[in-house]
Amino acid sequence: MAILELKAARGWSLAQAARAFLIEAETIASWLKRIDEVGSSALVQLREPVNKFPDFVRHIVQRLKVLCPSLGKVKIAQMLARAGLHLCATTVGRMLKATPGDPKPTDAPAEQIAMATAPQVVTARYPNHVWHIDLTVVPTGSGLWTAWLPFALPQRWPFCWWLAAVVDHFSRRVTGVAVFRKQPDSRQVRGFLATTMREHKAKPKYIICDKGPQFWCKAFKRWCRRHKIKPRFGAVGQYGSIAVIERFIRTLKDEGLRRVLVPLNLRKMRDEVIAIIGWYNTRRPHSWLGGRTPEERYRRIPSACRQPRFETRPQWPSDSPCASPQAKVRGNPGLRLQLVVDFHQGRRHLPIVTLKRVA
């Protein structure tokens, strides 16, 4: 077809076109006759690659990136896999680059690097075997720096909140969280741990923490001995020594608290943090868990990303492998899908991704 289009554009005769492309003039004449009788479909057509995804799949990926710009290519692939559409991260990255101006995917590769380089002194073999605990500061404004002496605001309410979090090492599930107006002391941290154990009716064998004053003290060590818990302390000043809880805190801030106006009311702040943690435990796929959610790992329930999947490629063999994780095909290949994005408790920074079949 391209040869005939070039012949028409240049105004060549049959003999001139034949000499230019080293073919017989009768061949070009037969092509013209076929087009006159049947149309362009009468010419030889190249077969579409079997592994090529339809254009609407690229639209779904790009639409999800627009709705949730904080998601990287790995996280988008994991969320779509949970909804039934299996794409590898490189395919998602190629689809995102198809439209100029897309923001560069963030945070997923960094998550893999952080998990890969984290030293694991204690290995968790079951839920509630090992807990991590740490404290962090959440500014209520744009930060704690000021232009006047002492060039920093006090690290307490109303300038910031103090958060304490407990993460289960085996499942990466957030077991408990507490919000304080100022930096908590060891007694408050011990009370928070006791409340968490009482609510979950479980206690860990090990607790991993840093050497902050709340933990590196005789009172905390006595409390651990009384509850038959062995504390493990991270190295002072060494990045990654408590990588699991540090990675959760980064997600809590980057994907949650930094995308909203931090409340000044204590009750509203607790509600906001609890909403983020509920989404994190039940909806957000975790790279270290292979796309499973912490709740699925903790409860040992089947992962949504291993349920039967949708196959949008019409010619793709049903028994051929797909992007990891492997799953059987649901229905017939060649389905058309529509992206449906809901939001956890109406918060637009906490997406819930599903796919709906369309005619």
Mean pLDDT, rounded, of the chain: 87
Domains of the chain: 2-42 (no CATH), 55-103+293-358 (no CATH), 110-254 (3.30.420.10)
User: Which has the minimum average pLDDT: 100-109, 168-177, 295-304?
Assistant: 100-109
* pLDDT value for 51: 86
* pLDDT value for 264: 94
Q: What is the pLDDT of residues 253-286, one digit of tens each?
A: 999 999 999 999 999 999 999 999 999 999 999 9
Q: What is the pLDDT of residues 218-249, one digit of tens each?
A: 999 999 999 999 999 987 666 667 899 999 99
Residue 327 main-chain phi, psi, to 5 deg: -155, 155
Which residue has better confidence, 48 or 112? 48
Q: Where do we find the tokens 């945070």? A: 107
* pLDDT value for 25: 87
* pLDDT value for 294: 96
Average pLDDT over residues 56-72: 92
Q: What is the pLDDT of residues 9-35, one digit of tens each?
A: 888 888 888 888 888 888 888 878 777
* pLDDT value for 44: 57
Instruction: Outline where the chain has alpha helix (H).
Output: 2-10, 14-21, 25-37, 55-67, 73-83, 89-97, 108-117, 186-200, 218-226, 243-254, 266-282, 294-299
**Concatenated DSSP letters of 38-87:** T-GGGS--PPPPTTPPPHHHHHHHHHHHHH-TT--HHHHHHHHHHHTB--
Bridge partner residues of 340 (DSSP): 354
- Using the predicted structure, report yes or no on whether residue 326 has a pLDDT greater than 80: yes
Instruction: Cis check for the bond before 105: say yes or no (omega within 30 of 0).
Output: no
Which residue has better confidence, 111 or 191? 191
Average pLDDT over residues 105-115: 44
DSSP 212: -
Are the CB atoms for 289 and 297 separated by under 8 Å? yes
User: Which has the minimum average pLDDT: 51-60, 104-113, 182-191, 315-324?
Assistant: 104-113
Average pLDDT over residues 147-176: 93
